[in-house]
């Protein structure tokens, strides 16, 4: 299933992921997220779907073992809670334009298999397909709404926007909502 979801992302589809418990804190960390291909350069598409302001930066979830190849981590060992905006390495900025902020940084989440098994394996499948060890990640909600809490809430949210795929790793299921 990971490869199928990676194929959808590679083809330009937006996929919402819903798994496990909702994250606590200010960031979506792969349990309630909207995922997209970071190689794209059409952030207005996501902003229009979510109804969010165009100036807001996007984030990326990256496999920890590849983070230093893409980001100037300096002395930072990891960023599992997406709390830091990290400079993107100059030599890769053009490969992941949608997640590079105007100041050349990206708010990153480093992901390991131990932290989030399914999310890590999805990112790994995307990496195997594209050579990019990360996915675009933004919170699974629409403007002015809380992050989705239940499966019914997730389906309702998707029924009101232009995202048609819902990935449920815990059930090994991909739903097309239209």
Q: Could you tell me which of 100, 76, 74 has the C-alpha nearest to residue 88?
A: 100
For the domain spanning 2-176, the CATH number is 3.90.870.20
- 172 vs 31: CA distance, rounded Å: 14
Instruction: Delimit the domains of the chain by residue range.
Output: 2-176
- Count of beta carbons in the 10 Å neighbourhood of residue 121: 18
Q: Give me the tens of pLDDT residue by residue for the chain, a chain 178 residues long.
A: 999 999 999 999 999 999 999 987 778 899 999 999 999 999 999 999 999 988 888 999 999 999 999 999 999 999 999 999 999 999 999 999 999 999 999 999 999 999 999 999 999 999 999 999 999 999 999 999 999 999 999 999 999 999 999 999 999 999 998 7
> What Rg value do the Cα atoms of the chain yield, rounded?
15
Which residues, 6 or more positions from 135, have their beta carbon under 8 angstroms from its beta carbon? Answer: 9, 35, 36, 37, 38, 60, 61, 122, 123, 126
Which residues, 6 or more positions from 80, have their beta carbon under 8 angstroms from its beta carbon? Answer: 29, 109, 110, 111, 112, 115
pTM: 0.96
């Amino acid at each position: 299933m990971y490869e199928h979801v990676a194929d959808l992302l590679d083809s330009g589809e937006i996929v919402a992921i819903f798994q496990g418990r909702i994250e606590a804190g200010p960031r979506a960390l792969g349990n309630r997220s909207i995922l997209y291909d970071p190689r794209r350069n059409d952030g207005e598409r996501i902003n229009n779907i979510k109804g969010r302001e165009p100036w807001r930066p996007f984030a990326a979830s990256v496999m920890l073992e590849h983070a230093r190849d893409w980001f100037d981590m300096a002395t930072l060992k990891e960023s599992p809670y997406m709390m830091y905006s990290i400079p993107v390495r100059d030599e890769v900025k053009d490969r992941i334009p949608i997640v590079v902020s105007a100041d050349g940084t990206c708010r990153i989440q480093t992901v390991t298999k131990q932290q989030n098994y399914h999310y890590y394996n999805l990112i790994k499948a995307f990496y195997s397909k594209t050579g990019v060890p990360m996915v675009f990640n933004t919170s699974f909600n629409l403007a002015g709404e809380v992050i989705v809490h239940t499966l019914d809430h997730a389906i309702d949210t998707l029924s009101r926007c232009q995202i048609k795929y819902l990935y449920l790793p815990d059930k090994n299921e991909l739903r097309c909502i239209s």
